[in-house]
Amino acid sequence: MSLPKTRRGYDTDGAVVQRFVPRSGVRPVSILFAVLANAIALYVTTIFPGPPGITFRGNLGTLLMAGAILGLFNAIVKPLAVLISLPFLVLTLGLFYFILNGILLWLCSFILPGYAVSGIIPGIVGALVITVVNWALGALFRR
C-alpha cells in the first residue's frame, strides 16, 4: 500500500502544514475527449475526398464505439508494433511510422464495426488524415 505524496507548505500564520499532492493519472474527461476525437477523425476519413477505399456504415453510436476501439487498439497494439518495427524505424529515419500507422488502421478495420479499409495504401492515407484531425482537435480544445 502506497501512501499519498505530501508537500510541506506554510499556512498564512506561518505554521507548517502538509498538503496532499494529487496523483497523476488519466482523467475521465481526457478519455472521453480521445474517444470523441477518434470518432470525428474516423468520420472525416470517410467524407474527405483524399483517402479512397475507406467506407463507414452505421450511426453515431457505432462511430463512438469505433472511436473507443481505435483508442484501445492504439493504446495496446501500437506500442508493441513500434517495438517490433524499431529496426525499420531507425533505418528509414522514422518514415516507416507512416506505413506502420496505415497497416495498423487496416488491421483495426477488421474489428471496427461498420468501418472498412480496402488496403494498406488507403490505410496509410487514412492514418495521415486521422493524425491531422486528432492533432487539430487537440490543439483547439486541450489546454
pLDDT tens string 108-131: 889 988 889 998 899 999 999 999
**Rounded to whole angstroms, how far apart are CA atoms 105 and 41?**
12
**Rounded to whole angstroms, how far apart are CA atoms 17 and 14?**
9
C-alpha dihedral sign at 41, 42, 48, 52 = positive
pLDDT over 80 (residue 22): no
Total-model pTM: 0.74
| CB-neighbour burial class of residue 129 (10 A; exposed 0-12, middle 13-18, buried 19+) | buried
**Rounded to whole angstroms, how far apart are CA atoms 7 and 23?**
12
pLDDT in tens, 80-117: 999 999 999 999 998 999 999 999 999 988 998 888 99
Residue 58 confidence class, pLDDT cut points 50, 70, 90: confident
